[in-house]
Amino acid sequence: MINRRKFLTQAGLASAGMVLAPNLLSAKTPNGVGLQLYSLRDQLPKDVKGVIAKVAKAGYSEVETFGYSAQNGFWGLKAKEFSALLKANGLKTPSGHYGLDEFFGTGKMDIFNSYIDAALATGQTYIVIPSLDHNFIKTASDFNKIADKMNKAAAICKSHGLKLGYHNHNFEWEKVEGTTFYDTILAKTDPSLVSMEMDIYWVVRAGHDPVKIFQQHPGRFAMVHVKDMDKGNHELNTEIGSGTIDFKTILGKAKLAGIKHFIVEQENYTNIDPYKSLAQSSAYMKNSLHI
C-alpha cells in the first residue's frame, strides 16, 4: 500500500507536470501532426511525389487523403503505389475523404467498394464522408434516413476492419423542423460505428462552441481538422495560432473529446508560400499546443 509521504510526493510531481504542460497531458498523441492534403490540391496533380516529400519536410507525420478514384487513383498513382510513396517519406495515412453520395442515393456499392479497397491498400482506418448532396437532407425525415444509411455504411466498413467518419461544414446546424442534421447524426448514429471528424473552423463559423459539443458528446470525435480563422476576414483561413480561434482551450479538451488524430487543413493562403504556411502551422501545433 502506498504511504502518505509517497502519495504526496507523487501528487506534487503530477501537479507540477500539469502546471508545466497542461495541454501536453490532455492533447499529446503518438501520431503527431497530420495534414489534410486538400490544403495542397493545386500542387498535387503536378508533382505528387515532390509534394509528399515537402509535406514530410514541413513537419507532418500523417496525411489525410481526398479525391481518390478507381480510374486515376491518388493523383495518378495506384493506392499501393501511393502507400509506398508515403512510407518512403516516413508518413502514414489514418483516414481519407471519400464521397458516398452514390451509396446514399441508390444503394449501389461500386464506388464504395473501390474506396474500401483504397483504404485497405494504404493502411487507413477511417473512411470519412467529407460532405454530402444537400438534396438528401431537406427535411427532418431526411436527416433520419441518412443517419440510418450512415449506420449501414459503417457496418459495411466494420466488416472490412474499417470505421466510418463524418466531417462537418456549417450547413449541418441549419434548423429544420426544430432540429439540425448534426444533432440527428450524433443522436441516431451508432457511436461504436460512426466517428466524428470535427472541423473546428466550421463549428466556430457556425456560431457554436467546440468545447461544449465535446462535453455533450464525449468520446465521439476521433479526429479534428485544425484550421484557423483569419482575423480580418472570417471567410479566410490563416496559419494555426495566427487567427481568432482559441486552440489551446479547445484542444485542451482532447482527451474528453476522444481525439486520436489532429489534422491541419488550410484552404487558402494570403501572401505566403503554402509550404512555409504549413510548416509554420506544424511548428505551432508541436511547440505551442504540444501535439
Name the grid cell of 127.
Answer: 473512411
Q: How confident is the model at residue 28 (pLDDT cuts 50, 70, 90)?
A: low
For residue 7, pLDDT beyond 60: no
How confident is the prediction for the chain on average, in pLDDT? 92
pLDDT digits (tens, 9 = 90+) for 35-48: 999 999 999 999 99
Rounded to 5°, angle at Cα 73 from 69 and 76: 130
Backbone angles phi, psi at 61, to 5 degrees: -115, -10
Among 10-19, 169-178, 184-193, 205-214, the minimum mean pLDDT is found in 10-19
- The residue-averaged pLDDT of 191-196 equals 97
Backbone angles phi, psi at 84, to 5 degrees: -65, -40
Name the grid cell of 48.
Answer: 505528387
Burial of 14 (0-12, 13-18, 19+ CB in 10 A): exposed
Alpha carbon 69 to its chain centroid, in Å, reads 20
The pLDDT value given to residue 27: 57
The helix/strand count (H/E) of the chain reads as: 13, 10
HSE-up of 62 (CA within 13 Å, CB side)? 24
The pLDDT value given to residue 29: 73
Point out which residues pair with 176 in neighbouring strands: 179
CA distance 198 to 262: 10
Q: How confident is the model at residue 30 (pLDDT cuts 50, 70, 90)?
A: confident
Q: Which amino acid is at 113?
A: N
Backbone angles phi, psi at 168, to 5 degrees: -95, 155
With a threshold of 0.85, does the pTM exceed it?
yes
Burial of 106 (0-12, 13-18, 19+ CB in 10 A): exposed
- For the chain, where are the E strands, in sequence order? 33-36, 62-65, 92-97, 126-129, 163-167, 194-199, 221-226, 228-229, 237-238, 261-264
CA distance 94 to 62: 7
The pLDDT value given to residue 80: 98
Angle between helices 274-287 and 48-57 (to 10 degrees): 30
- The residue-averaged pLDDT of 256-270 equals 97
